[in-house]
Chains A and B, each alone.
Chain A
Amino acid sequence: MKSVNVITPSVDGKGLMMGKAGYTNDYVLKNALIIKVLRSPHPFAKIVSIDDEEAKKLTGVECILSHKDFDRRPFTRAGQGYPEPSPHDKFVFDEYVRYVGDEVLCVAAIDEVTAEKALSLIKVEYEVLEPVLDFEKAMNNVSVIHPEPEIHEMFPIGFEPKKNISASYHMHIGNVEDTLKKCEVVIKESFYTQAQAHSMMEPHAVNTQFDYQNRLIIYSATQTPFHVRRIISQALNYPISKIRVIKPRVGGGFGGKQAIHGEIIASAVTIKTGKPAALVYTRKEVFESSYTRHPMRLDITVGADKDGTLKAIDCYVLSDTGAYGEHALTVFMVAGSKVLPLYNKVDSVRFHGHVVYTNHTPAGAFRGYGAIQGNFALESAVDILCNKLGMDPILFRQKNMMKENETSPIFAIMGEGTEGTAMMMETCKLDYCVKRGLELIDWNNKYPSKKINDHIVRSVGMAIAMQGSGIPYIDMGSATIKLNDDGFYNLLVGATDIGQGSDTILAQIAAEELMTSVDKMIPYSSDTDLTPFDTGAYASSTTFVSGNAVLKAAKTMKNKLIEEAANALNCAKEEIGFDGEIFNKVNSTESITLKELSNRLYYNSDQKQLMVTESYVGHKSPPPFMAGFAEIDLDTETGEVKVNKYCSVVDCGVTINPKLAKGQVEGAIVQGLGMALYEDVVYTAKGKLITNDFMSYRIPSRMETPELITEFAESNEPSGPFGAKSVGEIGIDTPPAAIMNAIYNACGVRIKSLPATPEKILMELRRKNHEQ
């Protein structure tokens, strides 16, 4: 292969490093109004009155919008396909505010100083209500967070707002209680995960303007431009044909930009005033007023026989969706659907639970989306079980885990808010991933631990994981390829490059099929007027779903090219050979170059524009798999954990771009390390998030980041473009469990609540020593 699975620099990397314009905030018109949002100081309150008279008098204030200016039209900001599996429980502005940082109103003014001054002049009277700040007490609480009558679910998702339940679900295979009774060894544990923050470097940004056709143009740092267009149209009752969403370069998303952020407010200001407007979140707003990972409690019971045969898994999950239900059902379901099939030989399995509203910052999509929470619980539980069984955790996994050409009944039962899709694992190199990982970390010489000195213990821990590749029968990608004179192509895709490099890898796929070089395949992505539809960058779908669409389009273009070459050379198309540059007529010396053919089609004979569009919807979602191995040094005097090394062996099929694939894994591993060890989320007793900047919320810096050893298994997925599966999310799943397992192996302390701060480790260590 010439373009696929070879090192290819990303198409935009050089320009961006050299400082070229690219991001949403680089395209703000000089005369744009600057929007600032007044946010709630209370976790739960009803707005009694808004006095904005003084602010309105301020020179330069153009408009102030609050709930009084909008029809009551509930929608969800989740940024999913339609109908959404998330409740329609949000209004542009509402008379209720449901968390500290919730939107009260917005001011648009000629500059930032004026907008901020106006905010300070506005007086809002609140009736403060009793908030729900403990998600374990949310269900059936006397405080009902969503009492409004208009909200609804789009199809049954277990939505019971009067009980503060945003979604609920139950599935079982076999009778898990009966099986557990028969098991020789059973363990039952509860695990807690925190509201991790995406912390992408570019804050959420949007700017809006009317163009010369009086259409609403929205530049947005979004992962889902087509969903944004649809949701704005619904929420503002504005014709969708008059909206164009352009996604420029995006400075990181990780799921945080899947949902709507400022797009509706900015659009409303431009519609109201006729003027261009811009809204950029402050970093505090990104932390407090966008979305987080869903915090969860996972109660897990696993049972096995003494020979190490895993027989049953029972999992109850309580998930905190915060003030609004974006991705409430789906994130929670993934905690089962992309975790439990790892152990596919059990007799029975149950997965059930509730997703509850609280008066916290809303939770939403975040790379790993349920899988990381589920993986932390299950892969911790497996080590706990092995300890009780007296069995080696590697042997236990090798015996019980998913293998190639196997399946799990869970695939058919659990989908993304709906039923799932049955599928066989045509590729699953988990066996190899585990074996190779053991070598890379030197497991046999290090497991379980070794004393380095009187207070440092070195240990290892591991976990296995799986993910998906898009949502079958729902996610659609499409691609248009256009032939230009001189024989170069445009590749137009709806797929959304948010920094992961999808423009590059999709151009590689097209270039490979058309046997040209990547520099002759010019990608342009994510513009709702110009590019074909794509659901967007989420659910590990781009390489597999959008990539398959690109491959189909390239194949169709190749056929068209051969047809046209046959016309030019007066022969049947079967007689044409094509190597990417020259069309040869078989058994003759006649030929025509692609350059000549394309110029002929533009200017001379058979004149036409060759342009093809193809779409792809997956009929399966082949999971990537991986094994992650951590080596840590644990200081028994301070409780501090230093990760020395993290080895990842990943089966993501063929890597379209090996270095970008590695970048996806390593970036995700370090985010997972952050969730495991550093990224503590702290609310005050009054419900205010105080870890709301990079000083108080510690993402890993380069000093904490360990040596990363990342390898890929040889694997070739038949359903993927050139053998590829997805790789965007899988990397984040293993670090919490692998590191908690390593901590246990170091000192016998089991941390069940993330992150594993030195304080928690030390306290558990002291408790344990005290008990002995």
Chain B
Amino acid sequence: MLVNLYVNNVLKKYHVQAGEFLLDTLRNDNYISVRRGCDSTSCGVCTVLIEGKPVPSCSVLTIRLEGKHITTVEGIQEEAEKLAHYFGLEGADQCGFCNPSMALTVYAMKNELKNPTLETIKAYLVGNLCRCTGYQAQHIAILHYLEDRS
């Protein structure tokens, strides 16, 4: 089946099986920043933005996305670099496996919420699990990133 997607604003035509999930479609097309962490929509590692909203790509069938705009971290390089700068200063990177999905979720949050509090940030990001950091360094880094208006 043919599906037209706008991946990072570039029109892509994918021939997919009916049961193919977006995660596999994107990885097969070398968007390797999209990674699998679980099989049950519960870790957040595979998050991409669909029409600007964070969604776990392991749970969405590609054929249901005709004409939709998909954003991977390759599409928000400047913002990801800026967030990475603040993560670096807090030592919040650690293994990095979930960090592209983290960058996308934080970017979506920044567009969606005005001046979120720490509690709002936690609630927004709750689907993005991390086993390395204990989360707090990430939150400090995210607050600094949100304060940076440059």
Task: Give me the interface of A with B, judged by CB distance under 8 Å.
Answer: 7, 9-10, 12-14, 16-23, 25-26, 198-203, 249-252, 254, 280, 282-284, 498-501, 657-663, 666-671, 693-695, 699, 701-703, 705, 707-708
Q: Check A499–B132 contact: CB distance below 8 A.
A: yes
B90: which A residues are within 8 A, CB to CB?
A: 659
Distance A699 CA – B93 CA, assembled complex (angstroms): 19
Q: How far is the CB of B138 from chain A (nearest CB, A)?
A: 8
B139: which A residues are within 8 A, CB to CB?
A: 702
Question: What are 18 A-B contacts defined by CB distance under 8 Å?
Answer: A9-B85, A9-B88, A16-B97, A16-B100, A19-B72, A199-B131, A200-B97, A252-B97, A283-B38, A499-B94, A658-B91, A659-B90, A663-B91, A668-B134, A671-B131, A693-B40, A694-B42, A705-B136
B94: which A residues are within 8 A, CB to CB?
A: 10, 252, 499-501, 663, 667
Q: How far is the CB of B37 from chain A (nearest CB, A)?
A: 5
| Chain A residue, CB-CB nearest to B130 | A201
Distance A500 CA – B73 CA, assembled complex (angstroms): 23
Q: Which of B95-150 contact A (CB under 8 A)?
A: 95-100, 102-103, 122-123, 125-126, 129-137, 139
| Chain B residue, CB-CB nearest to A10 | B93
Distance A469 CA – B95 CA, assembled complex (angstroms): 22
- Is B7 engaged at the interface, CB distance under 8 Å to the other chain? no
Which 5 residue pairs across A and B have the least CB separation, nearest first? Answer: A499-B95, A9-B88, A19-B33, A659-B91, A251-B97
Known contacts A200-B131, A201-B131; 14 further A-B pairs (Cβ under 8 A): A9-B87, A18-B33, A19-B32, A19-B73, A21-B32, A198-B131, A202-B97, A249-B95, A251-B37, A283-B40, A693-B39, A693-B40, A695-B42, A702-B122
| Chain A residue, CB-CB nearest to B124 | A702
Cβ 8 A contact of A703, one of B33, B77, B122, B132: B122
B49: which A residues are within 8 A, CB to CB?
A: none
Task: Tell me whether A201 and B77 are in contact in the complex, defined as CB-CB below 8 angstroms, given that A252-B132, A708-B134 are known contacts.
Answer: no
Q: How far is the CB of B42 from chain A (nearest CB, A)?
A: 4
Q: How far is the CB of B93 from chain A (nearest CB, A)?
A: 3
| Chain B residue, CB-CB nearest to A286 | B38
Q: Check B99–A663 contact: CB distance below 8 A.
A: no
Majority secondary structure, B binding face: loop
Cβ 8 A contact of B135, one of A10, A283, A670: A670
Distance A701 CA – B131 CA, assembled complex (angstroms): 9
Q: Check A663–B132 contact: CB distance below 8 A.
A: yes
Q: Check A14–B84 contact: CB distance below 8 A.
A: yes
Distance A284 CA – B42 CA, assembled complex (angstroms): 12
Q: Check B136–A708 contact: CB distance below 8 A.
A: yes
Q: Check B131–A23 contact: CB distance below 8 A.
A: no
Q: How far is the CB of A141 from chain B (nearest CB, A)?
A: 35
Task: Tell me whether A705 and B80 are in contact in the complex, defined as CB-CB below 8 angstroms, given that A13-B93, A249-B96, A283-B39 are known contacts.
Answer: no
B81: which A residues are within 8 A, CB to CB?
A: 14, 17-18
Task: Tell me whether A660 and B96 are in contact in the complex, defined as CB-CB below 8 angstroms, given that A666-B136, A705-B135 are known contacts.
Answer: no
Q: How far is the CB of B29 from chain A (nearest CB, A)?
A: 12
Distance A491 CA – B135 CA, assembled complex (angstroms): 31
